[in-house]
Amino acid sequence: MSEVLRVCVLLGGETIPAWQANALRRLLADEHVEISLTVVDAETSQRSPLDAIRRGIELREWGVIGALLAVLRRLRGPLPSQERVPVDDIDALRTATRRRCEPISVDGWKQRLPDEIVDEIAASADLVVRFGFGVLVGRVLTATEYGVLSYHHGDLREYRGMPMGFWEYVHGRDTAGVTLQRLNETLDGGEIVAFERVDISDADRWGGVKSRLFEASESMLANGVRNLRSDSRETARPDELGDLYTTPTGKPVLTYLAKTVRGTL
């Protein structure tokens, strides 16, 4: 394989979690891959403390849990896989052309990139990797040869939506999935480019589940890109999609608290 694959990376800010940095480093270990463009979500940096308070109220019981988890992260530090890494620590990201843009809201919860940004992506990249922005729709999904790759930390044939790994933990599942999907306009309904099943049977807390899912994620980007570029095209459209989960309220929150207390003790 001699042709260089040009990659555009969508970023949420000037830092990324360690697992994403490691995934990019593994991808870039292939000398035939280069980062040609990064696009940073300018809207993320403009969110105020008032926005966070308003969001917490909307989340009801989960807003309280989220606030407690944020306090624990400050006291204990984040999971190693979620330590923030400056984007400029990765040479290929530092030297690539960088653009900032504000996404356009669609239906109140989806996002579309401005036409001028999509045009630049189409002209300078063969593949887009989504490590920032929200639920994307519009031309960006089909503007490049290989589309937009995005992680879903769940098996989208069983669990769609969020929070990652939470529902598998609350439901007492022995395994959870990590899906690298090529996005379409169906939420968590894209083509499966790479998939890993992760043992969580002895994970006594949700943080342990997340750590294992992030660890499994690090090799998947490079593997998924190889699948896309191979002649065999080892990708698959899901035969069926799982239930769409969202922010927990009521009994699932109580179940989570009970499991967490047992796991801690």
In sequence order, which residues have a C-beta less than 8 Å from that of residue 214 and are 6 or more positions away?
Answer: 17, 19, 79, 81, 82, 153
Q: Work out the burial of residue 87: count CB atoms within 10 Å of its CB; fewer than 13 is exposed, 13-18 middle, 19 or more buried.
A: buried
* Spatial contact of 222 and 132, defined as CB atoms under 8 Å apart: no
CA 147, 187, 222 angle in degrees (round to 5)? 40
pLDDT at 125: 98
pLDDT at 44: 74
Q: Which two tokens stand for residue 127?
A: 């593949």
pLDDT at 210: 96
Q: Which two tokens stand for residue 29?
A: 């270990």
Compute the CA torsion angle 150, 153, 131, 125 (nearest 10 deg): -20
pLDDT at 249: 87
pLDDT at 48: 54
Mean pLDDT by 10 residues, the chain (265 residues): 87 97 98 97 68 50 68 73 96 97 96 98 98 98 98 98 96 98 97 97 95 98 94 76 93 90 79
> Where do we find the tokens 């969110």?
47
Domains along the chain? 5-264 (3.40.50.12230)
* Spatial contact of 191 and 236, defined as CB atoms under 8 Å apart: yes
pLDDT at 237: 87
User: What phi and psi values does residue 168 have, to the nearest 5 degrees?
Assistant: -60, -40
Report how far residue 5's alpha carbon sits from residue 131's, in angstroms, rounded to the nearest whole number.
18
